[in-house]
A and B are shown apart, each in its own frame.
Chain A
């Protein structure tokens, strides 16, 4: 298949792996963060890290949209879902994320009308088919997903749909990266940038990382060769003494993003003053809410939500996993009390979650970092 087969070529993979091996300084331990959960999935599905020298470590970042939603927002979602006459719609993995007293799936079992959808457009279709009900869409995701919600809300408004609402939890990628870079917990040599977010925002917003923090960034695609070559490009920059934003994913990512997406996003959303992230706490201007022009669709204005901040379970170390401070298998409950079948933390729920990737593909070296 075009755009797939050529990026899974084993011979090319071995060649890039050898070039990486020839490039690294054996006395230095490299730590490179892949920001996006899709990248984490690729690394463990295809064993990308097995093709890297032992002193090149890939660290997982906060780019799984399911994983970063705090428990309090799940409780809010369940409260809305239990409201009489509401059909609550969400992506499948959100149904299994634990709140303080259960999941949306459990709420469904107890009688709430919770339905899985593949897109916000599916939710709008349900609203049109159920004019005597109120349909709420649980919107999560980064800039990749936010345009889908925005276009759907624009369509709902254009069609005069009055029974469709959005519980907005969209987030933006730059503020948490800045928070991570300010964190004393983490020493990183470079970043693998989130390819699909960059189809919307472009590569330019990442220029602050080399400019202010002296770290190279390479925007990467999601096939194994994309990722291997992105690691090579970061190591090449370090070896050359360069530090800049490079775009490996040129077949998809325009450097300046999608201007039509910017227009759509700015019409439908505005930045919240602050938003809570699992493991990272409150981060200024990192979350989106509906703009005044779309307030009639805002589920947070339509329904009473608890809005209570809930601390993660003590045993769960998702926060440290999301910051790249520990590996998933270093969490106290990984693979024992917390499994994909019975997750305690969000990172074990989503296919993009680092814990689920480790667990499902079994690539666990259990070697602690020696720096």
Chain B
């Protein structure tokens, strides 16, 4: 999911998935985040920030 709104004083960011659906995501494991960051989200929590230039494995 991509971060579309984040506040420095909160551990929640608003994120948008590929279909445009938005939800609040806990970012305590990856903070701080910036608008536009791509996050791997599971059960409402960001597990890590994805680096879009990561090498392909296969």
Q: Are B26 and A199 in contact (CB under 8 A)?
A: no
From B11, B40, B43, B57, give the contact of A119 (CB < 8 A): B43
Give the segment of A1-9, A304-312, A330-338 that binds chain B. A1-9
Chain B contact residues: helix, strand, loop or mixed: loop
Q: Which chain B residue has the least Cβ–Cβ distance from A259?
A: B29
Q: Which chain B residue has the least Cβ–Cβ distance from A123?
A: B44
21 contacts between A and B (CB under 8 A): A7-B58, A91-B43, A118-B43, A120-B43, A121-B24, A121-B26, A121-B45, A122-B44, A147-B29, A147-B45, A148-B26, A148-B43, A155-B11, A200-B47, A225-B57, A226-B58, A228-B58, A248-B57, A250-B55, A250-B57, A252-B48
Cα of A148 to Cα of B39 in the assembled complex, Å: 14
B56 at the interface (CB under 8 A from A): yes
Contact residues in A for B29 (Cβ distance below 8 Å): 147, 151, 258, 260-261, 264
Cα of A166 to Cα of B19 in the assembled complex, Å: 31
A251 at the interface (CB under 8 A from B): yes
Contact residues in B for A264 (Cβ distance below 8 Å): 28-29
Contact residues in B for A287 (Cβ distance below 8 Å): none
CB interface residues, B 20-53, toward A, < 8 Å: 23-24, 26, 28-30, 38, 40, 42-45, 47-48, 50-52
B54 at the interface (CB under 8 A from A): yes
Q: Are A120 and B44 in contact (CB under 8 A)?
A: yes
Q: A148, A196, A248: which has the most chain B beta carbons within 10 Å?
A: A148
Cα of A353 to Cα of B7 in the assembled complex, Å: 38
Contact residues in B for A154 (Cβ distance below 8 Å): 28
Q: Are B42 and A251 in contact (CB under 8 A)?
A: no
Q: Are A199 and B43 in contact (CB under 8 A)?
A: no
From B23, B38, B48, B56, give the contact of A118 (CB < 8 A): B23
Cα of A178 to Cα of B43 in the assembled complex, Å: 27
Cα of A194 to Cα of B12 in the assembled complex, Å: 27
Q: Are A148 and B56 in contact (CB under 8 A)?
A: no
User: How many pairs, one residue from A and one from B, have CB atoms within 8 Å of each other in the complex?
Assistant: 93
Cα of A1 to Cα of B43 in the assembled complex, Å: 21
A152 at the interface (CB under 8 A from B): yes
Given A1-B18, A196-B47, A258-B48, do A152 and B56 touch, yes or no (CB 8 Å)? no
Q: Are A260 and B28 in contact (CB under 8 A)?
A: yes
Given A3-B50, A148-B26, A252-B50, do A119 and B45 touch, yes or no (CB 8 Å)? yes
Q: Are B57 and A148 in contact (CB under 8 A)?
A: no
Given A148-B43, A155-B11, do A6 and B56 touch, yes or no (CB 8 Å)? yes
| Closest-CB distance, B50 to chain A (whole angstroms) | 7
Chain A to chain B: the 9 pairs with minimum beta-carbon distance, closest first: A119-B44, A148-B45, A251-B54, A225-B58, A229-B58, A148-B43, A151-B28, A121-B44, A151-B26
Contact residues in B for A252 (Cβ distance below 8 Å): 40, 48, 50
Q: Which chain A residue has the least Cβ–Cβ distance from B12?
A: A121
Q: Which chain B residue has the least Cβ–Cβ distance from A247?
A: B57
Cα of A221 to Cα of B54 in the assembled complex, Å: 13
Q: Are A226 and B11 in contact (CB under 8 A)?
A: no
Complex interface bits, A1-26 against B, C-beta within 8 A gives 1, otherwise 0: 11100110100100010000000000
Q: Are B42 and A144 in contact (CB under 8 A)?
A: yes
| Closest-CB distance, A137 to chain B (whole angstroms) | 11
